[in-house]
Amino acid sequence: MIGSIVARTTVEANPSFVDPSAGVSVCAYREPDSGCSDVHVTNNLVGGAEYGGFVGAIGHKCYDTSSTIFKNNIAHSVIGTLSGAGAYINRLVSDPEQENCFEISDFKAYKCHNTPFITYSTGKKVVMSRMTFIDNKEGFTALLANKVNEYEELVIEGNDIKIMGETDSPDCPINGGFCDIYHKRGYITSAATWSGKAMHITDTSPLPPQNIMSISSWGSKIVFNRLTF
């Protein structure tokens, strides 16, 4: 369990600088980390983090339900400068098979200031499976970065994902102090583009991570199975 992570106040830099931070950062701080392998992030809870609850290049092989590389993790109450993702997970670079297909699965997030989940990785196919998102400000999304194969089929697939709106737990105290009330979204349109973004974004211009700032690839194919709102 990890919590109460706040931004440093002692950094002197350009006003647009964003200090790299997260609740848990795995194989992502000095990306791409091709030497990162045999890492398992399982059964963890992150609450009250800055930028991202889990930030990592730790996807697993597609449709491998036994994988524990990233499994049964939960994030909540994540905030940041134009950010605040429950998880920002990309493919494991040291596994060449994941260039063709990688998966992120078994994750939950609630009350995140931005998106509960995003992936924006290179590759030809990404699969999201068995996820639940509750009461987050922005929707989840998956994006692929692939210019070389842009005319091939670039697949973004989601399976067994549940999105829930308001809960009994209020966003603001009874007196309405120290918080804002937002219109909330469940899903942000997925796409494939020519280029992606860093996992630890250090400038405000590319934020939030899900804002597309690249030309689209032609071969995007989005498939959802058992997506429940």
Q: What is the model's pLDDT at position 214?
A: 95
What would the mean pLDDT of 157-164 be, rounded to a whole number? 97
Is 25 within a domain? yes
Q: At which residue do the structure tokens 């200031």 appear?
A: 113
For the four alpha carbons of 156, 117, 57 and 20, in that order, the dihedral sign comes to positive
Report the distance separating Cα 198 and Cα 205, nearest Å.
12
Is 98 within a domain? yes
Q: What is the model's pLDDT at position 14?
A: 81
pLDDT over 80 at 13, yes or no: no
Is 87 within a domain? yes
Is 115 within a domain? yes
Other CB atoms within 10 Å distance of the CB of residue 76: 22
For the chain, give the DSSP string: -EE-----S-----TTB-----SEEES-TTS--TT--S--EES-EEES-BSEEEEEE--EETT-TT--SEESEEEES-BBTTB-EEEEEE--TT-GGGGT-EEEEEEEEES-SS-SEEEEEESSEEEEEEEEEES-SS-BEEEEE-STTTTS-EEEEEEEEEEE---SS-SS-TT--S-------SB---EEES----SS--BSTT-STTS--SPBPTTEEEEEEEEE-
The pLDDT confidence band at residue 69, using thresholds 50, 70 and 90, is: very high
Is 179 within a domain? no
Is 26 within a domain? yes
Over the stretch 104-149, which tens digit does the pLDDT of each residue have? 999 999 999 999 999 999 999 999 999 999 999 999 999 999 999 9
Q: What is the model's pLDDT at position 99?
A: 95
Q: Range of 145's domain? A: 2-7+17-32+40-168+184-228
Q: What is the model's pLDDT at position 16?
A: 85
Total number of domains in the chain: 1
What is the average pLDDT value for the chain, to the nearest integer?
91
Q: What is the model's pLDDT at position 140?
A: 97
Over the stretch 202-219, which tens digit does the pLDDT of each residue have? 999 999 999 999 999 999
Is 177 within a domain? no
Over the stretch 167-183, which tens digit does the pLDDT of each residue have? 777 777 777 666 777 88
Tokens of 199: 């996992």
Q: What is the model's pLDDT at position 178?
A: 67
Over the stretch 85-94, which tens digit does the pLDDT of each residue have? 999 999 999 9
